[in-house]
Amino acid sequence: MHAGQFVFAQLMEFLPRHEFDTCVRRYRGDRRQRGFSCHDQWLCLAFGQLTFRESLRDIETCLRALDSKLYHAGFRGGIARSTLADANQAHDWRIFADFAQVRIRRARALYANDPLAVTLHQTVYALDSTTIDLCLKLFPWARFRRRKRAVKLHTLIDLRGNIPTFVHVSHGKIPDVTVLDDLPLEAGAFYVMDRGYIDFARLYRFTQQGALFITRGKKTLNYTRRARRQVDKSTGLRCDQTIVLAGPKSSQLYPAALRRVAFYDVEHKRRFVFLTNNFDLPALVVAQLYRCRWQIELFFKWIKQHLRIKAFYGNSPNAVKTQVWVAISVYVLVAIVKRELRLERPLSEILQILSVTLFEKTPICEMLTTKTAPLSDTSRHNQRTLFDI
């Protein structure tokens, strides 16, 4: 990447245009482009995410101020708030979702060899959801409560690299457990989730398809113990049992055996009970894998702090889903740049640097690897300190 290109254009080279065009053709996205294509829309929304723009008007104002540079950065259509709003309404959000999946596959390949907190060769996923509050009048379709509207992001992340692999956007009233019906299952992989996802009919599908789950058990669980294994209580383990469900309904919904592991967290003085369909891992590893689930909470916190998904540029379901998937694409893009350029900086720092340098002509590798020189101490001797007064 040479110095003649803007940083924004260099960044877009990490996103294969032919793959994007394939996604556009799949949903006939440009059949009525009217001078503003899906690619122009993606560039505008990505610019908004990378530079923390608050609205479509904000995006329009900033891009028009850079009008002489836009062509060389890849923009071809005229930038206007109304045009972008129409595109968010008309262009199918699945274009951006499919393109995000293309980049997700690339990111997962780059982070496939990253170590986990435990020694394990299988893929480990964490599943959870986060709620984003919305305005009652502007988002009437996003049902949540009587005086509030919200959307939920049901998200599955690969714990190697914290790369999101599945995102489902729904209104806030949808129970978390229903997302298991749409979740793609991978044989041999571990799925770690909290007890909000306990539905034994749905969990039995994991067992039938060879997928492994770890979840929290409920206190009211009705079961019969079939076997037990010795545990080292000095590690915090309390029991390791093989059980079958004894409830008249649950025993029919999940007829196979389950493993029940109890663990006491001395630091927080809490007792945890885990349920899993894996009988091979050491009991302590089961508890440690569940602790890794906290990574998805950190992922939600990161994207809410550093990307624009708490306030939306449009009010329709299509506009909301489009913005969410563009935000996911930007997150994955930064993760790819970090790994391919072998950067030591954290993702948040890379994003901050990009936000103020997108239309400079510095080579992106040089810009992101240059360390800031420490301030000289020479000026310190010429200024009196507070305690010298």
Looking only at the bridges linking them, the beta strands covering 148-158 and 212-216 are unpaired
H or E element in which residue 355 lies:
helix 347-355
- State the DSSP string of 288-322: HHHHTTHHHHHHHHHHHHHSS-SS-S-SSHHHHHH
pTM: 0.89
> For 140-168, how does the pLDDT look when each residue is reduced to its tens digit (9 = 90+)?
999 998 888 999 999 999 999 999 999 99
> For 49-88, how does the pLDDT look when each residue is reduced to its tens digit (9 = 90+)?
999 999 999 999 999 999 999 999 889 888 999 999 999 9
Answer whether residue 200 is part of any domain.
no
> For 189-239, how does the pLDDT look when each residue is reduced to its tens digit (9 = 90+)?
999 999 999 999 999 999 999 999 999 998 889 999 999 999 999 999 999
Whether pLDDT at 95 is above 90: yes
User: Beta-carbon neighbour count of residue 156 at 10 Å?
Assistant: 20
Answer whether residue 309 is part of any domain.
no
Answer whether residue 75 is part of any domain.
yes
Q: Which of 257, 273, 272 is nearest to 224 (CA)?
A: 257
Answer whether residue 351 is part of any domain.
yes
Q: Give dist(CA 3, CA 8) in Å, integer.
A: 12
- Please check whether residues 21 and 68 belong to one and the same domain: yes
Answer whether residue 115 is part of any domain.
no
User: Beta-carbon neighbour count of residue 19 at 10 Å?
Assistant: 15
Residue 178: the pLDDT is 94
Answer whether residue 166 is part of any domain.
no
> For 314-354, how does the pLDDT look when each residue is reduced to its tens digit (9 = 90+)?
999 999 999 999 999 999 999 999 999 999 999 999 999 99
Answer whether residue 261 is part of any domain.
yes
Q: Give dist(CA 41, CA 39) in Å, integer.
A: 5
Residue where a domain terminates, one of 256, 281, 306: 281
In a 13 Å sphere around the CA of 95, the CA atoms on its Cβ side amount to 29
Answer whether residue 269 is part of any domain.
yes
What's the whole-number average pLDDT of the chain?
90
Residue 1: the pLDDT is 46
**Contact residues for 22 (Cβ-Cβ < 8 A; gap 6+):** none
Residue where a domain terminates, one of 281, 297, 331: 281
- Please check whether residues 266 and 325 belong to one and the same domain: no
pLDDT-derived band at 369, boundaries 50, 70, 90: confident
The domain of 41 spans 7-96+320-369
Domain total in the chain: 2
What is the identity of the amino acid at 154?
H
